[in-house]
């Protein structure tokens, strides 16, 4: 299905046929197909709405805005437009920030919340891990400001991708990643500045649904710390580390992820 959501043509589909409604939000530079392996293993338990972010997959392009966090705000509005009853909310990476923003804004709409590899770096400001990832992101922004989109895309995927070398990617995929760099630039700001005020006082604390925070043991050192900092503010939270997994664990460790999502479903 492709329909207008907040002025953008958004492609979405339903995965599974289970009783529980769910909504899943994918990562930056990814697409909704990333959920298929895990959700196929949960198809008897939930029916998940998945959608391509603007400028991703089969969805329409994003009219780039300069305002910090503009893309995150738009995606949050699009995701909210799919919610008409309490559901299981699942997000990966950037999608976790959107999912958490939704849960803080409307905790009554969330039956369970699964956050995979969250990258809300504002939560760990003042730590060595924050300084390290901020340095990397500053370099990325410098490349983008200089118009060096290929170098920026290569650097980003080397750190946050699935491990496939840049040279091994099909030419059309490399070109697409370079086209998406302005979106990445806008979301980078949101990761560090928290323009949606997800971390505001008494926001995260208001989420009373079961929360599961998932990260790989081979991911960037900042991510486990983000998970830990979020967890201490939550009422009903579990954390899980997936052995051998990096940032793209929905693709590389989908069976483990399906098991963990199932555990969180059982808690709600």
Helix (H) or strand (E) holding 88, with range, is: strand 87-92
Tokens representing 123 are: 């939560």
CA distance 88 to 85: 10
Structural domain boundaries enclosing 138: 128-187
Task: For residues 140 and 100, state if they share a domain.
Answer: no
Structural domains of the chain, count: 2
Closest C-alpha to 107, from 236, 214, 225: 236
Closest C-alpha to 36, from 18, 48, 22: 48
Task: For residues 52 and 68, state if they share a domain.
Answer: yes
Task: For residues 165 and 110, state if they share a domain.
Answer: no
CATH of the domain at 52: 3.40.50.1820
Task: For residues 16 and 36, state if they share a domain.
Answer: yes
Hey, what's the torsion of the CAs at 74, 36, 15, 64, to 10 degrees?
A: 10
Tell which of 187, 210, 238 closes a domain: 187
Task: For residues 77 and 181, state if they share a domain.
Answer: no
Task: For residues 34 and 150, state if they share a domain.
Answer: no
pLDDT in tens, the chain (268 residues): 999 999 999 999 999 999 999 999 999 999 999 999 999 999 999 999 999 999 999 999 998 887 889 999 999 999 999 999 999 999 999 999 999 999 999 999 999 999 999 999 999 999 999 999 999 999 999 999 999 999 999 999 999 998 899 999 999 999 999 999 999 999 988 999 999 999 999 999 999 999 999 999 999 999 999 999 999 999 999 999 999 999 999 999 999 999 999 999 999 8
What local confidence, expressed as pLDDT, does residue 28 receive?
Answer: 96
Closest C-alpha to 217, from 192, 237, 239, 191: 239
Task: For residues 110 and 65, state if they share a domain.
Answer: yes
Task: For residues 13 and 76, state if they share a domain.
Answer: yes
Task: For residues 209 and 231, state if they share a domain.
Answer: yes
Between helix 70-80 and helix 94-105 the angle, nearest 10°, is 60
Task: For residues 100 and 38, state if they share a domain.
Answer: yes
């Amino acid at each position: 299905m492709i329909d207008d959501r907040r002025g953008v043509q958004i492609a979405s589909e339903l995965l599974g046929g289970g009783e529980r409604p769910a909504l899943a939000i994918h990562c930056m530079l990814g697409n909704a197909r990333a959920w298929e392996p895990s959700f196929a293993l949960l198809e008897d338990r939930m029916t998940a709405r998945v959608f391509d972010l603007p400028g991703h997959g089969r969805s329409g392009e994003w009219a780039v805005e300069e305002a910090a966090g503009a893309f995150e705000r738009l995606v949050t509005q699009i995701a909210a437009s799919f919610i008409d009853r309490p559901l299981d909310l699942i997000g990966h990476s950037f999608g976790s920030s959107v999912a958490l923003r939704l849960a803080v804004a409307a905790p009554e709409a969330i039956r369970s919340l699964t956050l995979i590899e969250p990258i809300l770096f504002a939560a760990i400001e003042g730590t060595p891990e924050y300084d390290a990832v901020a340095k990397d992101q500053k370099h990325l922004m410098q490349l983008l400001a200089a118009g060096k989109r290929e170098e920026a895309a290569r650097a980003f995927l080397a750190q946050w991708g699935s491990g496939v070398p840049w040279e091994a990617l099909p030419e059309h995929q490399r070109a697409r990643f370079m086209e998406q760099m302005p979106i990445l630039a806008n979301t980078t700001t949101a990761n560090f500045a928290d323009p949606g005020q997800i971390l505001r006082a008494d926001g995260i604390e208001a989420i009373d649904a079961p929360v599961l925070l998932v990260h790989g043991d081979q991911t960037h050192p900042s991510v486990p710390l983000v998970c830990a900092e979020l967890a201490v503010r939550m009422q009903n939270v579990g954390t899980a580390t997936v052995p051998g997994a990096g940032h793209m664990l929905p693709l590389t460790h989908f069976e483990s992820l399906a098991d963990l999502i199932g555990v969180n479903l059982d808690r709600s």
